[in-house]
Structure 1
Amino acid sequence: MAALVATEAAALPGPAEAAEPAEAAELSRALSRLLPGLEADSKLSRRRALEALQRALETARPEAPAADPAAFQGPWARLLLPRLLRCLADPAEGCRALAAHLLDLGLRRAARPRDALPRLLPALAARLAGPDPAHRPPPEPCEELRLALVQLLRVAVDLGGAALAPHLDDAVRALRCALLDPFAAVRRESCECAAGLARATPDHFHMQSESLIGPLMQSISHQHWKVRVAVIEATGTVIQFGNGKSVDDVLPHFAQRLFDDVPQVRQAVTRVVGGWLLALRDRYSFFHKLIPLLLSSLDDEMPHIAQEAASLWAEAGLQWQKENEEDLKDKLDFASPPPAHHPSPETRPGLGCRELVFRNLSKILPAICHDITDWVAGTRVKAARLLAVLLLHAEDHATQHLEALLRTLLLACADEEGAVVSSCTRSAELIGTFVSPEVFLKLLWPMLKKSPSASGLLVLAAVIRGCPREALQPHLKAITTELAGAHIRQGSENLRYGEKLLQCVQALVSTCGEDGRGCGLQLMQVLVTVMALPGAPGLGNQLQETEAALAAVESSGDGQDLYRQHVGPLLEWLGGSQRGWTAHSPELLQFSVLVAHAGPALGEALPQLVPVLRSCLQPDRDPQMRLRLLSVLSRALLSAKETVDSQGQLHRYLDTVVTDILVPNLQWRAGRTAAAIRTAAVSCLWALISSEVLSATQVEDVRETLLPPVLTALEEDSQMTRLTSCRIVSAFLKSSGGASEPDKFIKIYPELLKRLDDVSTEVRLAAASALAVWLECIRNDGAEACYQRDVQHLYKELLVYLDDPDSAVQDAVLEVLQAGSVLFPDLLVRETEAVVHKHRSPTRCEQLLQHVQARPAAP
């Protein structure tokens, strides 16, 4: 009430009014006629009075008193201002809106707008600032009117300038609430107003700036991107002219905005941070906090943001360099060229930028090492990219932080995010470029030996790729020796581990070139280990490319030349541990892979290969291991001319293969595994015979040893064993040409006859084919009379199968009898005529009789 009385008293005519110039007096009289309407009880009357005032002010002619700021100042301050301020609280929304508009017009036209500040700012604060802006609505309920009031406050700030200093409390109180306004446009306008207030009162604003930081940070994540941009820009100005201590409160929010999906928001952060690096009063205290934010924008997905960040960073570095010219005098006078193997010497950061990073790296790295393992993927990606940028600036100064860097990279390279792994790999390459191999290897090997991991190998491969060839060359032998050591080479059976192990080999071959010529054996040991891992066929192309690259280095040849050079030592290396092999030994898998891939080189390595096979395939060794090795041997013998006999030397080891390897494994033993071993051994024998690497004489030599166990194998439960045995017997008979030993020869056909009753048609047909060969051998022997009784028995038995339910068997047996009829045709005719009436269908017997009778009589 007292304030109201004071306002009224100020509006009454007094001595000042009497002394007014004529123009001001005329304006006062004109306004006095309209002002009583503002006090009317009727809302309509008050509105009409305000509209009349609006017309009077907006349509004033240039020569009218209202157009003269000096003439307008007195009536404005004495008559209009107090009444219009009171109208800001009018119950009618339209009246409040007109009052705000008229106040705006009045401030702009008054000669001394700052004179209105003592009454205007408290009134605006009263309408904008509620007691609890976070939970209670502001006194002004209309959002458009709140916008108009904030705009009015901004006009007052722009026109008041330094005169606002005594009224900062009211202005800041109004802005604190307006910055949290539900209406987005009010927040944007408030941000611009806060920035203007900071610029207008630079000498006093620091005392109030901290109170604006809280509301600004509450609005920095607003859903409207324009609000976020306005908040960031306003924050930059508020801190620039305010209290630098607020930087710590703001930076975490700014860091989050670097993840914003809207490029304009990220660009705003970049500009503000860059501006702080250049102009913030206390910037030296905050370099280690500001540098990571600006450098994070160097690889922004939007090129224009990255370019602007690079420009600001270069400017900041140059400014710091000039400010510290004395400290950098030696480095400036004797500037060193970029390192010889710098990844991008043409875009090498300036000295100021490099020094800024180097001097603050110890403060920046701990935060990056923490963020690079954060649970939020976006944070990890940003941190990993930033680390690569920092290392590019730090160059060889990274050495003093190397242990922490390597531990961080080992963790980060195991990340499931490909972007994190890619950036960390790049960081490892930079370490290899700038740090001495002696240093990083000394730290890296203990980490890998303590806990072999795919990520550790990935880091090792990356530092090797980044390392200059001449720097790496003295350490090459030690690196390959460590890689080929069992602890690292066989650190895991995981395929990803093998892939990274392969990358280490690729890195060594590509980086060292011909310098690696003496390390081929160790690298081949690693390659064989990778090839033996479960799932390794998925790395087939990479393995072939690596073998080709290594072969080019070793002998300027292809992959087969590589195996030809190293297969012997590799077999000796693996064979050295064969006494402890089991079915699950990784060395067994490696041996199997080596034999499978060596190709023609195996023919030159028989002195190393055969002893290992002989030792491992003895009956007292692990059955599962023997089974696997027999399968390996079988595959090698199937293509013997291209593998084990590529040099034509297999015959020298034939006795060992037959006597010491095949025969022991053909012997009958109880159990399913033993049966599987016999099947594998029979397969090996068949592969050896069918490969055509043995001459007839050689087959004849092994037949005497192998025929008895093969005939026994005709009784095996395995169909494959019985079938293969029939084929082997047939091959043995063909190679003999005749019945050289009648006693042994006679024992063959009864075993084959039994197979005619086999459950497998395929076995029965193979047995019939073998019987045909047996009969052919008798014919070639020239002593048919000695075998008449056995042949007669065979005729009788075969005639039974001419009436077999299976027509294929009937046809096969018919061919056997027709082929064997040349021995004793009359005997066959008698036996056939004796049983023809017993057959369900005499067709086959009649065909046989016709065939025999059609043959010319013997002379």
Structure 2
Amino acid sequence: MDMKDQGSEDTIVGLKKMCLGLQSSDRKIRKEAYISIEKYLRSHSELSNQELRNIFSETYMYTLNGLRDKTESVREQAIEFVKFLIIDKLPINDYYLSYVFPLLVERIGSVELIEESEEIRLQMVKLLDAIITKYSNTNQLKPFLNDSVIILAEAVKDKFPLMKELSCRLILKLANALPRDFHCQAGNLIKPVLSCFGHQRYKIRVESIKAIGEIVMHCDHNGLNEVVGPLAERLFDQIPIVRQTVGQVAARWLLEYRDRYSFFHKILPLLLTGLNDEVVETRNEAAELWEQVGLQFQKENEKDLKDELDYLIDLPKYYPENIIRPNLGCRTLVKRNVSKLASALSRELMSWQEDVRVRCSQLLCAIVLHAEDGITQNLQSLLPAMYSAARDDDNRVVDNIIQASQLLGYFVRYNVWSDLIIPVIEDGAHYGHLIVLSGLVKGSPKEYIADFVEDISRVLAEDSICNSRKDKYQKEMIKCVEILSEKNSHGTNNSTGYYLFKIIVTTVALKHPNNETEISDSVFDSLRTGLKLETNQELWMLYTGRLLDRINKNPKLWTTVTDQACIFLTILSQSEEAFGLNLQSIHDILENVLDLECDAEMRLKTFYVLATSFEKKDLIFKRAKDLTKFLENLIQDIFVPSLVWRPGASAEAIRTMAAACLQHALMPSPEVDLFSDDTLRPVTEKLLPLLISLLEDASYRSRQIAIECLAFLKTLCCKKDMWNVDDLIKIYPEILKRLDDPTEKVRFSALRNLPIFLNSVPVEFKKANYRAHHELIIDTLLTHFDDDNEDVQNMVYDTLQEVAIINKKELLHKIDRHKPLLRNKKGCDKILESLEVLKIEEIE
């Protein structure tokens, strides 16, 4: 035996003695033994490979058994020693691995939990990691592929998060270490790795997605079919890096998977969804990866795409400015698979899961953008799903549906999509239909859609479609009007303006309370602009008459909730100058609506709206023709019957409102001559008895309004020199009676208006033969002149000033006679002073 062999033998003997410590019952001694052996071997760096093999052969039964030690600290030290021995000391040789792997499989590769310590299990996986790293791309690792897969399959299912994360990374390393052999066992890792997809730690989800991406690259098509569904669910992950990882994996498959042409339709959604992700970084990365995929596909199919590459290089006309057109490879790839993608999208857009609907709506936008006119054949299945998704509670889904609709409108011509959506709307529309329709119209270039705007407007203007009281439906209907107005290029030369006007007025009339701010008078602005008119009033003047004819259907049957009634009242209140241009049509409807046999509430509301309109007489009658005839017919056919007394609370309320409406109608206007000379007298003779009768009405408001109406009527008659003594004698006694009315408001109204009746009286009334009337007036006024209310005293004083002009002598006589009996002596003196001034003026 030479010196070298002797030295090797001595080393082995020495190590065996140290190994005796590994058999001690004291755990500290066992742990120290591992430390001593490692220290000893580190100090003998000159040992040859053969010597190391001999040492391993003689000591492995002692050293490796420490992996089973009952003490955790000893097992930990044993793993450190084995890692040092296998990785740092021993050369690459499958001989050593054949002793280590069975122990690893035993401890962490069985279904039953053998190694209870999480930290020890993690150390063992790290040992496996170090082995795979050292033996990567060597034949010595091949025999242990099965054991490695067994260990990793259990390790990824471990409850310890760090174990899962490291195991997923180790799968990638193992696949790269044995690229030609990994496919034999790759399939066994799919289900264990998929179990990590739902882990609460996003880092584990990311690593598991990367691992599954690698596994599928080495599997047959069954592997891809198994993982594509769970991988698609990760597109709904709240963490952006997880979604980005899905896109990276999908891009790799699209570029490198050997049978990718058969699975494009399954892989494409995984990457295309990222193009519309809410995170900018995710969108940008997905766009870059997708462009690479398209360019590669374009290169691989260069012969088939040669004509398009050579000639179709310019952007299509009117291509959306804010969108970059995908390259030809990307577009072709989607077009060839769009039928398979569309059917799945149609199902998932109506999923009960919110996240699924969001991602599918994002994917829809990407598919429409790439498929362009190739989407045409799939519209029949896509549109119903879009109608439903457009009503989603999640605004992200709705926004994506709108975007997709606009893209469809650009790429697909009107005659194609109109045949699908218009019949559906006619059968019974909801606001989802309108959202999609407005998107289609908005996306269509004006040059192509302008000739069809009238057809669309005609459909939407049908009563069954536009007469809706639903808040969201109304909002979308107005949006449709705005977009159709923008696309209209024919101005007022066709019926488009009328149809859109009808829709707006109907929507305003039936407005839902939630839409008070959204739907206001400004909704007419877009239509006015589209028709190139200067003011909204021009709209009313153009189309009010036609709309009145349209709604004039059985007005006697209307109630306050009847659609046509609401539209009519809206016209009365908002038409302004157009009111005067359609007096006959308005009268015809009013005559029926305000018939005594019609709904009481409807009559009440109509009188109220009409009274409000009459407040703007200067405006509504500005362009009126035959105004006198309209007012005469209105008074004769409507006001006269409505002012006749009838029993009941409803009749009383209607009587009051009719009187209020008449009051506004009779109110003199500086700009409008309400009655001609021929008609005012007959009107006066019909109204006087009714108004005088109304002064005795149970409703104080009716009595008060009757006084105002009589005052206005007197003013109108005086203006045309038609006020006579008989009229005055009929009215003033009744007004004097109201000075004793139980309601203060009525008394004050009588006192305010009495000077009007006593002003400019007919000359004949001043004669002596009417002295009895003068005495009645003076006696009554002097009685109220003593009222405690100072305001009453002042108003009586004003009235007495008018009486002085009629018969000053009698007034002086009465004051002198009543002064001693009156408390208001100060007021009497004031009147006498004013009469004295009047006397002086008369002398002068």
Answer whether TM exceeds 0.5 for this pair.
yes
User: What is the aligned partner in structure 2 of residue 212 from structure 1?
Assistant: 189
Which aligned pairs between 1:80-479 and structure 2 lie closer than 5 A? 80-108=59-87, 109-132=89-112, 138-160=113-135, 161-328=138-305, 331-332=308-309, 334-335=311-312, 337-343=314-320, 347-479=324-456
Uncovered stretches (5+) of structure 1, i.e. residues with no partner: 1-16, 133-137
Distance 1:23 1:386 in 2: 73
Measured at CA, do residues 534 and 548 of structure 1 come closer, stay the same or move farther in structure 2, by a change above 3 Å?
closer
Measured at CA, do residues 357 and 697 of structure 1 come closer, stay the same or move farther in structure 2, by a change above 3 Å?
closer
Letter in 2 for 1:752: I
Letter in 2 for 1:529: T
Tell whether 2:771 aligns with 1:788.
yes
Cα shift at 1:752 = 0.8
Cα shift at 1:831 = 4.2
Of 470, 486, 489, the residue aligned with 1:494 is: 470
Q: Deviations over 1:608-663 (max 9, x none)?
A: 33333344333344433333332232222211111123457523533223322322
Cα shift at 1:73 = 4.0
Tell whether 2:710 aligns with 1:726.
no
Measured at CA, do residues 288 and 736 of structure 1 come closer, stay the same or move farther in structure 2, by a change above 3 Å?
closer
Moved more, 97-106 or 534-543: 534-543
Instruction: Indicate if the aligned counterparts of 1:508 and 1:516 stay in contact, CA closer than 8 A.
Output: no
Q: Aligned with 1:800: secondary structure? A: helix
Tell whether 2:623 aligns with 1:674.
no
Distance 1:515 1:825 in 2: 70
Q: Deviations over 1:509-551 (max 9, x none)?
A: 1123346752211111111111112347946676655533332
Letter in 2 for 1:794: I
Moved more, 111-120 or 480-489: 111-120
Distance 1:712 1:309 in 2: 85
Cα shift at 1:344 = 5.1
Measured at CA, do residues 353 and 24 of structure 1 come closer, stay the same or move farther in structure 2, by a change above 3 Å?
farther
Moved more, 397-406 or 719-728: 719-728
Letter in 1 for 2:69: D
Letter in 2 for 1:220: F
User: What is the aligned partner in structure 1 of residue 539 from structure 2?
Assistant: 562
User: What is the aligned partner in structure 2 of residue 12 from structure 1?
Assistant: none
Cα shift at 1:282 = 3.4
Moved more, 833-842 or 500-509: 833-842
Of 470, 482, 492, the residue aligned with 1:506 is: 482
Q: Aligned with 2:645: secondary structure? A: coil
Moved more, 446-455 or 729-738: 729-738
Cα shift at 1:408 = 0.8
Of 714, 729, 748, the residue aligned with 2:731 is: 748
Distance 1:151 1:244 in 2: 32
Distance 1:447 1:369 in 2: 17
Letter in 1 for 2:839: P
Cα shift at 1:744 = 4.0
Q: Deviations over 1:155-206 (max 9, x none)?
A: 2223334433433343222222221223222222211222222333344433
Of 3, 12, 28, the residue aligned with 1:44 is: 28
Moved more, 24-33 or 96-105: 24-33
Measured at CA, do residues 324 and 855 of structure 1 come closer, stay the same or move farther in structure 2, by a change above 3 Å?
closer
Uncovered stretches (5+) of structure 2, i.e. residues with no partner: none
Q: Deviations over 1:732-764 (max 9, x none)?
A: 334444895434432212211221122332321
TM-score normalized by the length of structure 1: 0.89
Of 689, 704, 708, the residue aligned with 1:708 is: 689
Q: Deviations over 1:199-238 (max 9, x none)?
A: 3334443343233222222222223222222222122222
Moved more, 810-819 or 268-277: 810-819
Instruction: Indicate if the aligned counterparts of 2:469 and 2:512 stay in contact, CA closer than 8 A.
Output: no
Distance 1:694 1:627 in 2: 27
Distance 1:46 1:418 in 2: 66
Moved more, 768-777 or 375-384: 768-777
Q: Aligned with 2:337: secondary structure? A: helix
Distance 2:822 2:794 in 1: 15
Letter in 1 for 2:471: L
Cα shift at 1:729 = 1.5
Letter in 2 for 1:745: L
Distance 2:783 2:323 in 1: 94
Cα shift at 1:603 = 2.9
Measured at CA, do residues 537 and 836 of structure 1 come closer, stay the same or move farther in structure 2, by a change above 3 Å?
farther
Q: Aligned with 2:120: secondary structure? A: helix
Q: Aligned with 1:88: secondary structure? A: helix
Measured at CA, do residues 812 and 556 of structure 1 come closer, stay the same or move farther in structure 2, by a change above 3 Å?
closer
Measured at CA, do residues 437 and 562 of structure 1 come closer, stay the same or move farther in structure 2, by a change above 3 Å?
same
Tell whether 2:34 aligns with 1:54.
no
Instruction: Indicate if the aligned counterparts of 1:432 and 1:462 stay in contact, CA closer than 8 A.
Output: yes
Distance 1:602 1:375 in 2: 52
Moved more, 185-194 or 533-542: 533-542
Letter in 1 for 2:21: G
Distance 2:621 2:598 in 1: 24
Letter in 2 for 1:503: K
User: What is the aligned partner in structure 1 of residue 640 from structure 2?
Assistant: 663
Moved more, 527-536 or 268-277: 527-536
TM-score normalized by the length of structure 2: 0.91
Cα shift at 1:371 = 2.5
Instruction: Indicate if the aligned counterparts of 1:572 and 1:608 stay in contact, CA closer than 8 A.
Output: yes
Distance 1:416 1:50 in 2: 66
Measured at CA, do residues 854 and 771 of structure 1 come closer, stay the same or move farther in structure 2, by a change above 3 Å?
same
Measured at CA, do residues 75 and 549 of structure 1 come closer, stay the same or move farther in structure 2, by a change above 3 Å?
same
Distance 1:144 1:334 in 2: 65
Tell whether 2:755 aligns with 1:772.
yes
Instruction: Indicate if the aligned counterparts of 2:231 and 2:246 stay in contact, CA closer than 8 A.
Output: yes
Cα shift at 1:411 = 0.8
Distance 1:790 1:412 in 2: 82
Moved more, 267-276 or 314-323: 314-323
Distance 1:466 1:19 in 2: 93
Q: Aligned with 1:630: secondary structure? A: helix
Measured at CA, do residues 781 and 386 of structure 1 come closer, stay the same or move farther in structure 2, by a change above 3 Å?
farther
Q: Aligned with 2:489: secondary structure? A: helix
Q: Aligned with 1:343: secondary structure? A: coil
Measured at CA, do residues 504 and 724 of structure 1 come closer, stay the same or move farther in structure 2, by a change above 3 Å?
same
- Tell me the percent identity: 30
Distance 1:341 1:539 in 2: 37
Distance 1:543 1:730 in 2: 38
Q: Deviations over 1:260-280 (max 9, x none)?
A: 333322222221222122222
Distance 2:177 2:347 in 1: 41
Distance 1:516 1:368 in 2: 42
